[in-house]
């Protein structure tokens, strides 16, 4: 499949094997495409599916692709830490269950970029999404030894990447981005999703106004990437709802995903 700029080629057998971590909950609608593409294009050593006791077909589908299942009950922070703890390759590739890798040479390019001086993480951007931002873990290669140094609370929820970004700044490392690497099939989040996200930002960063400003900018970039006028017009409403959650976090910080019809996977920062 020709998906990126230049010639697309299958990953080389000479590339180092990589452990792949999929953090998930009730991802039965999307995880099959996710794991099929991963098996096709990545030299996988271990395929870890770290699951929050899914109640749909997530686990049997994962097992059908040879995934090694692990469970967690604390939060997405715990699932992220487990990925670093379980990995026994030098790098770990975080892959969201609603993401499908479509650029065959992504891993080769990511290994090359990660070897560059000053690069601490490599993110695969969505197909035809020109605006890069932050450190989403939808398709992201990170060094395992470095990840184990990050002070990441196990109970961290939707803003778990705040701690990773803070550690990159601490170590004077930057994020590199690879365009047109994947397709992201966004899940249904529920109408209080922005408030929940605002509450998680407050829990992680406190009154850090710079982090708040960044969190308000990200929805605008996401909506701009979608090329949807409706999404762009919704941006100020989303930001106001996020601010409501940020200002009244106790009301919004707890969220039972099992009650969300059609919920897929974990919220992203």
Q: What would the pLDDT profile of 131-163 be if each residue is shown by its tens digit?
A: 999 999 999 999 999 999 999 999 898 889 999
Share of the chain above pLDDT 70, in %: 88
pLDDT bucket at 227, cuts 50 / 70 / 90: confident
Per-residue pLDDT of 255-267, as tens digits, reads 665 554 343 333 3
How far is CA 51 from each of CA 96, 105, 121, 269, rounded to the nearest angstrom? 12, 28, 24, 18
Spatial distance between the Cα atoms of 50 and 21, rounded to a whole number of angstroms: 7
Q: Are 72 and 53 in contact (CB under 8 A)?
A: no
- Give pLDDT, residue 114: 98
pLDDT for the residue 77: 93
Quick one: pLDDT at residue 200?
94
From 146, 46, 41, select the one nearest 99 (Cα to Cα). 41
One-character DSSP codes across 7-23: ---PPPTTSPPEEEEEE
Whole-number mean pLDDT of the chain?
A: 89
Q: How confident is the model at residue 13 (pLDDT cuts 50, 70, 90)?
A: low
Averaged over 109-135, what is the pLDDT?
Answer: 96
Per-residue tokens: 207: 């009154």
pLDDT at 258: 54
Q: What are the tens digits of pLDDT across the range 77-89?
A: 999 999 999 999 9
171-199, pLDDT tens digit by residue?
999 999 999 999 998 755 677 899 999 99
**What pLDDT sits at residue 267?**
34
Q: What is the pLDDT of residue 215?
A: 94
Domain locations along the chain: 18-184, 193-259
* 72, 43 Cβ separation under 8 angstroms: no
Using one digit for the tens of pLDDT, what is the confidence trace for 241-255? Answer: 999 999 999 999 876
What element of type H or E holds 165? helix 161-170
Pick the CATH number of 18-184 from 3.30.420.40, 3.90.550.10, 3.30.565.10, 1.10.340.30: 3.90.550.10
Percent of residues in the chain assigned helix, strand, coil, to nearest 5: 40, 20, 40
At 42-70, the pLDDT tens digits run: 999 999 999 999 999 999 999 999 999 99
């Amino acid at each position: 499949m020709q998906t990126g700029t230049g010639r697309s080629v299958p990953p080389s057998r000479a590339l180092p094997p990589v452990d792949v971590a999929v953090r998930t909950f009730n991802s039965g609608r999307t995880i099959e495409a996710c794991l099929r593409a991963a098996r096709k294009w990545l030299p996988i050593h271990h395929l870890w599916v770290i699951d929050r006791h899914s109640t749909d077909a997530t686990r049997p589908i994962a097992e059908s692709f040879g995934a090694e299942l692990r469970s967690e009950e604390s939060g997405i922070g715990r699932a992220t830490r487990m990925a670093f703890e379980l990995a026994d390759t030098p790098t770990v590739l975080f892959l969201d269950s609603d993401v499908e890798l479509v650029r065959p040479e992504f891993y080769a390019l990511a290994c090359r970029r990660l070897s560059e001086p000053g690069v601490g993480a490599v993110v695969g951007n969505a197909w035809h999404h020109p605006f890069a931002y932050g450190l989403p873990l939808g398709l992201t290669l990170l060094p395992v030894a470095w990840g184990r140094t990050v002070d990441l609370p196990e109970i961290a929820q939707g803003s778990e990447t705040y701690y990773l970004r803070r550690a990159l700044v601490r170590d004077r490392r930057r994020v590199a981005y690879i365009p047109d690497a994947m397709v992201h099939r966004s899940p249904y989040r529920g109408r209080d999703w922005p408030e929940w996200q605002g509450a998680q930002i407050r829990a992680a960063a406190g009154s850090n106004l710079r982090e708040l400003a960044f969190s308000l900018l990200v929805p605008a970039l996401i909506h701009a990437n979608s090329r949807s006028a409706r999404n762009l017009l919704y941006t100020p409403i989303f930001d106001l709802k996020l601010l409501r959650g940020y200002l009244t976090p106790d009301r919004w910080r707890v969220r039972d995903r099992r009650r969300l019809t059609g919920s897929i996977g974990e919220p992203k920062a």
